[in-house]
Amino acid sequence: MRTKFFSPSLISLLAFLYASLVTGQAHSVEILAQNTARQYIPKAVAVSLEKGQIPKEAISISVVEIEPGRSGEITAKTKLDWRSKQAMNPASTMKLLTTLTGLDVLGPQYRWRTNIYTDGLIRQGTLKGNLYLQGTGDPKLIPEEMVKMMKALQNLGIQKIDGNLFFDRSAYAPNVMEHNTIDGESLRAYNVPPDPLLYAFRTLSFQLGKSRTADFIDISYTPPLSQLKVINQMQLVNQSCDSWKSNIRFNLDPEGGIANTNQPLTAQFSGSFPNSCKGMNYNVVALDANTFLTQGFAAAWELAGGTWAQAPTGKSASVPLASRLLLQFEGIPLADDVQDINKYSNNVMARQLMLTLALEKMGKPATTENGELVIQSWLKGLGLQFPELVIENGSGLSRNEAISAEHMTQLLVTARNLSVADTFYNSLPIAGTDGTMKNRLMTHLRKFLHLKKKPEARIKTGALVDVRAISGYVMSKSGRMYAVTSFINHPNALRGLDAHDQLLAWLLNDGPDPKQAR
């Protein structure tokens, strides 16, 4: 008789799947179709599509009204269904699936850990030995958090470090950290690859603006780096601020900063800058991961009053077995990270959340394939079957990811029965207020200023060159709640922005009425 042995990661996944099946079934919500046909496009939406030269076959729409049931659970009724079963590219609305899974599986209070080990000892305020940073994928290890980390190190009695920095990225499989893009724009912040030790999104953010005291341009940057010097050769010009980036020339020497992690770097700006611009951000991913983290850590330590025996030259290495844990630093709660992911559509944060699901449920090294397994298991545990679903990285920055509008809306409906319903709802951009919806629906919302209880739209947006997407909740003027999803996949998708605004405005006005169909 043979004995079967299962790997710890497989056992963990099986246990997770079983728990999901047992606890999740109560959360599944049946969406009831109305007897009346709901397959139409609202007039205002149809008119907008025609103006944008977008065929009706390029859009899918799913609208469901959500009502509280007698037993406390919600009921849902389909109000509008236009090609909703068609698999479509959802762009960044895919983040809804990733963040909802993360909240429900890990919990809103989940915190990432960055462990710092040493092979040395602390004597008379000096750490004689190396520091080993081991990351678990904290997506928001930003300068403010680094300040806290430096203070925690100093609280251990360290004022001087006599050793080097080493970075352990074993939490992720090497292939997920490769810098592959779908558009070739490797220097753009939205294309930053995952990194278990991601610092400040590996993005240099330069702030440009006219000086208050003289006719020249101020340039500052964040995060602080220990060896970066800015050379400003910009000239002020009397022009509109509309295309301010087009006349800026940026150069980093040495290019990529890969010659030496503690080598001096020069960021040179030349060209022209409109004097009408105020506080513009120029973001660039121009350094390799080790250089960026080494100089960022070194600068943070020095700004905190710490010193070095010699400037560190950070290198990749695994934590030695003989080392000891010096500090376990915890990041901000997942609920706060999800706010950033959904409101500002942060791609790398979403990707790292998906990898964290893999890491926590199946062990390291985390892979996107294991992250997808965890998400699929979670869906199955809730009684949700999305056969058309394709997950590539969980952020929507993909040509391959796909889901139907019907199933994205079903996910929104299901979310209302979960314990994390309010956390998830509050993470979505509010039309006319914040995030990617800050400047959307402004004209439409003004019509409701006289109402005591104003309607609102909490909508995640998505955009690629040939994709426009919306998905979220609309609270109408009469107090009805709708879950809505719409995808446009077409070369003219950019012109579909107004069509989506018209759809949301229609729902704000309690639009689901077949008499308004066209």
Token duo for residue 83: 């090609």
Tell me the average pLDDT across 221-243.
94
Q: Is the pLDDT of residue 37 over 70?
A: no
Residue 24: pLDDT band by 50, 70, 90 thresholds?
very low
pLDDT of 30 reads: 63
Burial class (CB in 10 A: 0-12, 13-18, 19+), 96: buried
Half-sphere exposure of 142 (CA within 13 A, CB side): 11
- Strand, helix or coil at 253? strand
Mean pLDDT check: name the lowest of 68-77, 315-324, 395-404, 433-442.
68-77
Closest C-alpha among 59, 292, 51 to residue 189: 292
Q: Is the pLDDT of residue 329 over 70?
A: yes
Q: What is the DSSP string of 219-230?
A: EEEES--TTEEE
Spacing of C-alpha 362 from chain mean position = 22
Residue 3: pLDDT band by 50, 70, 90 thresholds?
very low
Kindly list the distances between the CA atom of residue 10 and the CA atoms of 175, 358, 373, in Å, as whole numbers in the listed order. 21, 11, 11
Q: For 305, which DSSP code?
A: T
> pLDDT tens for residues 243-265?
899 999 999 988 655 556 778 99
Residue 484: pLDDT band by 50, 70, 90 thresholds?
very high
Closest C-alpha among 136, 169, 191 to residue 348: 191
Determine the residue type at 425.
Answer: Y
Q: Where are the domains of the chain?
A: 30-109+335-516, 113-330
Q: Is the pLDDT of residue 111 over 60?
A: yes
Residue 415: pLDDT band by 50, 70, 90 thresholds?
very high
Buried b (16+ CB within 10 A) or exposed e, 369-390: ebbbbbbbbbbebbbbebeebe
Q: How far apart (Å, rounded) are the C-alpha atoms in residues 488 and 469?
A: 6
Q: How far apart (Å, rounded) are the C-alpha atoms in residues 147 and 152?
A: 9
Q: How far apart (Å, rounded) are the C-alpha atoms in residues 327 and 115?
A: 6
pLDDT of 29 reads: 65
Q: Is the pLDDT of residue 425 over 60?
A: yes
Residue 323: pLDDT band by 50, 70, 90 thresholds?
very high
Token duo for residue 76: 């849902």
Please report the sign of the dihedral spanned by the C-alpha atoms of residue 313, residue 121, residue 119, residue 141.
Answer: negative
- Helix crossing, 95-106 with 347-362: angle to 10°? 40
pLDDT of 122 reads: 97
The overall average pLDDT reported for the chain is 91
Q: How far apart (Å, rounded) are the C-alpha atoms in residues 457 and 482?
A: 9
Q: Is the pLDDT of residue 26 over 90?
A: no
Which residues is 219 bridged to in the sheet? 208
Residue count of the chain = 518
Spacing of C-alpha 429 from chain mean position = 13
| Cα radius of gyration rounded to whole Å, the chain | 25
Which residues is 462 bridged to in the sheet? 469
Residue 2: pLDDT band by 50, 70, 90 thresholds?
very low
**Which tops the pLDDT comparison, 151 or 33?**
151
Residue 311: pLDDT band by 50, 70, 90 thresholds?
very high
Spacing of C-alpha 470 from chain mean position = 16
Closest C-alpha among 366, 368, 367 to residue 392: 368
Q: How far apart (Å, rounded) are the C-alpha atoms in residues 178 and 182?
A: 13
**Which tops the pLDDT comparison, 4 or 244?**
244
Q: Is the pLDDT of residue 513 over 90?
A: no
Determine the residue type at 338.
Answer: V
Which residues is 64 bridged to in the sheet? 78, 483
Q: What are phi and psi of 97, to 5 degrees?
A: -65, -45
Q: How far apart (Å, rounded) are the C-alpha atoms in residues 330 and 141?
A: 10
Percent of the chain with pLDDT over 90: 82
> pLDDT tens for residues 177-224?
999 898 988 889 999 999 999 999 999 999 999 887 778 899 999 999
Tell me the average pLDDT across 3-31.
52
Q: What are phi and psi of 468, to 5 degrees?
A: -130, 135
Residue pair 358/370 in contact (Cβ under 8 Å)? The answer is yes
Tell me the average pLDDT across 37-52.
93
**Which tops the pLDDT comparison, 459 or 8?**
459
- Strand, helix or coil at 4? coil
Half-sphere exposure of 189 (CA within 13 A, CB side): 16
pLDDT of 9 reads: 55
Q: How far apart (Å, rounded) are the C-alpha atoms in residues 271 and 363?
A: 49
Token duo for residue 345: 């559509």
Q: Which CATH architecture has domain 30-109+335-516?
A: 3-Layer(aba) Sandwich (3.40)
Q: Is the pLDDT of residue 33 over 70?
A: no
- Strand, helix or coil at 107? coil
Q: For 102, which DSSP code?
A: H
Q: Is the pLDDT of residue 302 over 60?
A: yes
- Strand, helix or coil at 191? helix
Tell me the average pLDDT across 80-90.
97
Tell me the average pLDDT across 368-378.
98
Q: Helix H segments across 320-393?
A: 334-344, 347-362, 368-381
Residue pair 131/326 in contact (Cβ under 8 Å)? The answer is yes
Residue 471: pLDDT band by 50, 70, 90 thresholds?
very high
> pLDDT tens for residues 157-185?
999 999 999 999 999 999 999 998 989 88
Residue 388: pLDDT band by 50, 70, 90 thresholds?
very high
Residue pair 436/409 in contact (Cβ under 8 Å)? The answer is no
Nearest-5° angle of CA 91, CA 92, CA 96?
120
Half-sphere exposure of 196 (CA within 13 A, CB side): 26
pLDDT of 174 reads: 97
Q: How far apart (Å, rounded) are the C-alpha atoms in residues 153 and 143?
A: 15
Closest C-alpha among 487, 477, 486 to residue 511: 477
